[in-house]
C-alpha cells in the first residue's frame, strides 16, 4: 500500500471515528432517555444515518386463514341489515380503508340512529391494535395474595393511599406500577372484551339502533348467514334471541382478533425497528424528541419501545389521564351547558360515578395511524396533528388561544370539565409541566419533527394522509 493510500485510509478512519462520536450528538438537541444508546459511538453513528442501532426481531400475532367463525364475523361486520336504518354496519364508522377509524369527510363524531341523523358524542376510535388490550383494572396486578380477584372498590381504596409516580419516558416501569385506572375497551374502559363490546354499538340508539335482540335474531335467521350460524352453533341457535346475538358478537370479535388487517404492523416504524428502514433526518429528530423526557415526553404514555418479550410497541400504556382538551361546540350534546362527558365517571360508564377523582379521565389511545385521522381526542376537537401539537405545547403557556373567557375576561382553562374537576387534569408530566413565561417544550420546528415521526406509524394501507394545514388559532 502506498503512502497516499495509507493516509487516505487513516483519514477515513479518523473521519469515521469523529462522525461516530459527534455525528449522533449533532442531531440531538438535548439528553434523552435512550441515552445509553447514543452515548455509544457505534450507536450514534448508526442513528446519525437514520438506522436503528439495535434492530429487533418482533413477535407479531400469528397469521392464518380466517376460521369459519371469523369469516361469519367478517360478513356481519359489513352487514347493514342488522341496523335500525338498514344502512349502517360496523364498517360505516370503522372504515377498513381508514385503519378501521372514522371514514374520510366525517365530522368530529359520527351520525347514526333510525334515520342516520342522530349524533354520537365521541370520536370514533380505530379498531386496530386492540388485540393486546388488557381488561380494565385500577391496580397493575388486580390479583390479591391468594390469587383472588380484588374488587374494583378494593382497588380504588388502595389507589387512594398510593403516591402517583411522575410519568416520564425515563421510567415507564414506575408509571406502569401506578395505581391508576388502565385497560378495557371504549374510551372509558367500560367493557373488557371485544365480544362484550360489540352489542354496545349494535343496540345504541344513536349508532346502529338495532332495536331488540329478538329483531336482530329474526333478521339473522332469515338472512344469508343462517346456514353458517346453524353449522357453527347448532340447529337450535335461533331458539333464544339473546343467545343468537351473543354468538354473533363472538363471531365479530373473532374476526377482529384473527384478521391480520386489524394488526398489520406494516408501518415504516415497524420496518425501522426490524432494521429494514431508515429514518429521514426529520423523522429521526422527531423520534428523539418524542422519547426525550424533557421535550415531548410523549413515550411516557404513548409507549414507543418493543416490550421486554419482543412484542411491537402499541403507543399506549392503556392508562387513563385527564388532559383537559377544549370543549367541542360541534358536538350537539354540548349545546346543553350542563352536559359533560366525564370519561371514567360517566355518563356512559356508570360504576365509577362517585369516584370524582376519575372525572375527566380518558384512555390513552394508540398513535398508530393517528396521522390519518381527522378527529383527535375523545371529543374530536382538533382536526390535524399540527393543532394537536400546538395544544400539547401551549396548553398552559397560552391557554387563551384554546379556551374561551368568562365575563370578567378570565380564561376558562379545561372548559370541557366542571370547575370542581379541573384539578384532575395532568399538570405535572412533561410536556404539561411548563408555566406561563417559561420556554415551550417544543419549538414549532420541533413540533413538525414530532409529526414527521408520528407519520412513520401509519400502516402501509392506511393512506388517508390529511393535508397539513396551518392552525388557525
Residues that bind ligand HEC (CB under 6 A): 88, 90, 92-94, 110, 112, 120, 122, 124-125, 127, 130, 167, 185-188, 194, 197-198, 201-202, 207-208, 252, 296-298, 300-302, 321, 323, 325, 348, 362, 364-365, 367, 370, 373, 376-378, 385, 388, 392, 426, 429, 431, 450
List the grid coordinates of 176: 406502569
Instruction: Write down the least CB distance from residue 147 to ligand HEC, Å.
Output: 27
Instruction: Write down the least CB distance from residue 175 to ligand HEC, Å.
Output: 8
Nearer to ligand HEC, 48 or 370 (CB): 370
Instruction: Write down the least CB distance from residue 339 to ligand HEC, Å.
Output: 15
Whether 156 and 138 have beta carbons less than 8 Å apart is answered as yes
Nearer to ligand HEC, 48 or 76 (CB): 76
Spell out the long-range contacts of 201-205 with Cβ–Cβ below 8 A and sequence spacing 24 or more.
201/90, 201/93, 202/82, 202/245, 202/249, 204/112, 205/113, 205/114, 205/118
Residue appearing with cell numbers 435512550: 34
Instruction: Write down the least CB distance from residue 250 to ligand HEC, Å.
Output: 11
Nearer to ligand HEC, 92 or 455 (CB): 92
- Region class of 135: left (phi > 0), else alpha (psi between -120 and 50), else beta: beta
Instruction: Write down the least CB distance from residue 278 to ligand HEC, Å.
Output: 22
Residue 198 to residue 238: CA distance in whole angstroms = 19
Instruction: Write down the least CB distance from residue 218 to ligand HEC, Å.
Output: 17
- Region class of 411: left (phi > 0), else alpha (psi between -120 and 50), else beta: beta
Whether 81 and 288 have beta carbons less than 8 Å apart is answered as no
Instruction: Write down the least CB distance from residue 351 to ligand HEC, Å.
Output: 14
In 3D, which of 364, 348, 346, 351 has the Cα closest to residue 418?
Answer: 346
Nearer to ligand HEC, 90 or 359 (CB): 90
Nearer to ligand HEC, 48 or 367 (CB): 367
Whether 374 and 457 have beta carbons less than 8 Å apart is answered as no
Nearer to ligand HEC, 94 or 225 (CB): 94
Nearer to ligand HEC, 194 or 314 (CB): 194
Instruction: Write down the least CB distance from residue 195 to ligand HEC, Å.
Output: 9
Residues contacting 305, CB < 8 A, separation 6+: 299, 313
Whether 249 and 82 have beta carbons less than 8 Å apart is answered as no
In 3D, which of 59, 43, 54, 457 has the Cα closest to residue 275?
Answer: 54
In total, the chain counts a number of residues equal to 473
Instruction: Write down the least CB distance from residue 192 to ligand HEC, Å.
Output: 10
Residue 285 to residue 437: CA distance in whole angstroms = 25
Whether 131 and 193 have beta carbons less than 8 Å apart is answered as no
Nearer to ligand HEC, 94 or 327 (CB): 94
Nearer to ligand HEC, 127 or 179 (CB): 127
Amino acid at each position: 500500500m502506498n503512502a497516499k493510500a495509507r493516509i487516505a485510509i487513516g483519514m477515513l478512519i479518523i473521519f469515521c471515528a469523529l462522525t461516530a462520536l459527534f455525528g449522533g450528538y449533532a442531531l440531538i438537541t438535548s439528553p434523552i432517555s435512550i441515552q445509553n444508546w447514543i452515548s455509544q459511538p457505534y450507536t450514534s453513528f448508526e442513528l446519525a444515518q437514520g438506522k436503528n442501532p439495535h434492530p429487533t426481531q418482533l413477535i407479531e400475532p400469528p397469521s392464518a386463514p380466517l376460521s369459519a367463525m371469523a369469516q361469519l364475523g367478517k360478513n356481519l361486520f359489513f352487514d347493514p341489515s342488522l341496523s335500525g336504518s338498514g344502512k349502517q354496519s360496523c364498517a360505516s364508522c370503522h372504515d377498513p380503508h381508514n385503519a378501521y377509524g372514522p371514514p374520510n369527510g366525517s365530522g368530529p363524531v359520527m351520525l347514526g340512529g333510525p334515520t342516520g341523523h342522530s349524533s354520537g358524542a365521541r370520536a370514533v376510535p380505530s379498531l386496530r391494535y386492540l388485540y393486546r388490550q388488557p381488561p380494565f383494572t385500577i391496580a397493575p396486578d388486580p390479583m390479591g395474595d391468594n390469587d383472588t380477584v380484588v374488587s374494583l372498590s378494593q382497588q380504588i381504596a388502595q389507589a387512594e393511599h398510593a403516591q402517583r409516580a411522575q410519568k416520564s419516558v425515563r421510567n415507564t416501569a414506575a408509571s406502569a406500577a401506578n395505581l391508576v385506572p388502565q385497560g378495557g375497551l371504549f374510551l372509558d374502559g367500560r367493557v373488557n372484551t371485544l365480544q362484550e363490546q360489540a352489542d354496545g354499538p349494535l343496540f345504541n340508539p344513536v349508532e346502529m339502533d338495532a332495536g331488540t335482540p329478538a329483531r336482530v335474531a329474526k333478521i339473522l335467521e332469515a338472512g344469508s348467514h343462517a346456514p353458517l350460524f346453524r353449522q357453527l352453533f347448532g340447529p337450535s341457535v335461533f331458539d333464544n334471541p339473546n343467545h343468537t346475538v351473543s354468538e354473533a358478537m363472538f363471531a365479530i370479535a373473532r374476526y377482529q382478533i384473527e384478521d391480520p388487517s386489524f394488526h398489520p404492523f406494516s408501518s415504516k416504524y415497524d420496518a425501522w425497528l426490524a432494521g429494514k428502514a431508515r429514518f429521514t433526518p426529520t423523522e429521526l429528530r422527531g423520534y428523539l424528541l418524542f422519547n426525550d423526557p424533557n421535550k415531548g415526553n410523549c413515550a411516557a404514555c404513548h409507549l414507543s419501545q418493543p416490550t421486554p418479550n419482543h412484542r411491537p410497541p402499541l403507543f399506549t400504556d392503556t392508562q387513563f389521564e385527564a388532559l383537559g382538551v377544549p370543549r367541542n361546540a360541534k358536538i350537539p350534546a354540548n349545546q346543553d351547558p350542563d352536559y359533560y362527558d366525564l370519561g371514567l365517571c360517566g355518563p356512559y360508564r356508570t360504576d365509577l360515578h362517585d369516584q370524582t377523582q376519575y372525572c375527566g379521565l380518558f384512555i390513552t389511545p394508540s398513535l398508530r395511524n393517528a396521522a390519518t385521522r381527522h378527529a383527535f381526542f375523545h371529543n374530536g376537537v382538533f382536526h390535524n396533528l399540527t393543532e394537536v401539537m400546538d395544544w400539547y405545547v401551549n396548553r398552559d403557556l397560552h391557554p387563551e388561544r384554546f379556551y374561551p373567557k368568562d365575563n370578567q375576561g378570565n380564561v376558562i382553562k379545561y372548559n370541557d370539565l366542571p370547575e370542581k374537576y379541573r384539578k384532575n387534569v395532568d399538570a405535572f408530566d412533561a410536556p404539561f409541566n411548563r408555566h406561563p413565561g417559561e420556554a415551550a417544550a417544543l419549538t414549532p420546528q420541533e413540533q413538525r419533527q414530532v409529526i414527521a415521526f408520528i407519520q412513520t406509524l401509519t400502516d402501509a394501507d392506511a393512506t388517508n394522509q390529511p393535508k397539513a394545514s396551518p392552525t388557525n388559532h
